[in-house]
Amino acid sequence: MKNLLILTASIGALSAAAPAFGADFAAQPVNIKAPPPAIVATINDWTGYYIGLNGGWGSSHNCWDFNGVTPEGCHNSTGGTIGGQIGYRWQIFNTVYGIEGQGNWADFSGSNVSTAFPADIIGTKTDAFGLLTGHIGYAFNAVLLYAKGGAAVTSNTYRINSVVNGAEIARNNDVRWGGALGAGIEVSLTPSWSAGVEYDHLFMQGSNVSFPTAVGGDRVHQDVDLITARLNYKFSPAFGR
């Protein structure tokens, strides 16, 4: 009987303490770990003034016609080129518009034996060219694909040499104008620096070249192909304000 009373008292004490114990347990704070911050992708903006350098390879295809009638043959004048460019771009959504001026030194040289006068070697050297073009492109964030077109100018020297001993018989030079079409890809490396590759084709006007020390002259036709690597620096938006 005594043991039964002790057991009953113990159960009663536990029952009275249970709500207080449960309340203390429920009041404990719940530690919830905060989610990591979302990563926001950088959006590249191509708008702004830029200046840069370019260098690569070129080939000038030249065909000579004596007095504009008798073909003397064609040759490719090939070599290296280096120069610079300056321009401005406007980005509207993903479309990028621009205008650019480019000037290059060149060393494109070539020659062939005249088919009309086998004793003569005719040769052409292009030592400089320039481009003034408009651009339109599409930006895939940090990658820009673009096409270009506009005006082109080349500086050329023409020579006639002897097949027998290589002596120069006649020489003249000219500056001629034409058109340019091209395309390229450019990648933004940082907010200011970008690098790319470009191809251009120049459609030059035919030029009448006279040789004071020789009888007659030639009508010379020219087309130029260029492949260049480019490095540009874009100024901050505050530039020019």
Look at residues 202, 109, 110, 104 and name the one whose alpha carbon lies nearest to residue 149: 202
Q: 136, 146 in Cβ contact below 8 A? A: yes
pLDDT of 7? 37
Query: Looking at the chain, how many residues does it have?
Result: 241
pLDDT of 216? 83
pLDDT of 32? 63
**First vs last Cα of the chain: how many Å apart?**
102
For the chain, list the domains and their CATH numbers.
48-234 (2.40.160.20)
| Dist. CA 223–CA 98, nearest whole Å | 25
Look at residues 1, 194, 224 and name the one whose alpha carbon lies nearest to residue 131: 224
Digit-by-digit pLDDT tens for the chain (241 residues) are 444 334 344 444 434 444 444 444 445 555 666 566 555 456 899 999 999 999 999 999 999 999 999 999 999 999 999 999 999 999 999 999 999 999 999 999 999 999 999 999 999 999 999 999 999 999 999 999 999 999 999 999 999 999 999 999 999 999 999 999 999 999 999 999 999 999 999 999 999 999 987 778 999 999 999 999 999 999 977 565 5
Look at residues 74, 52, 177 and name the one whose alpha carbon lies nearest to residue 123: 74
38 half-sphere exposure, CB direction, 13 A CA radius: 3
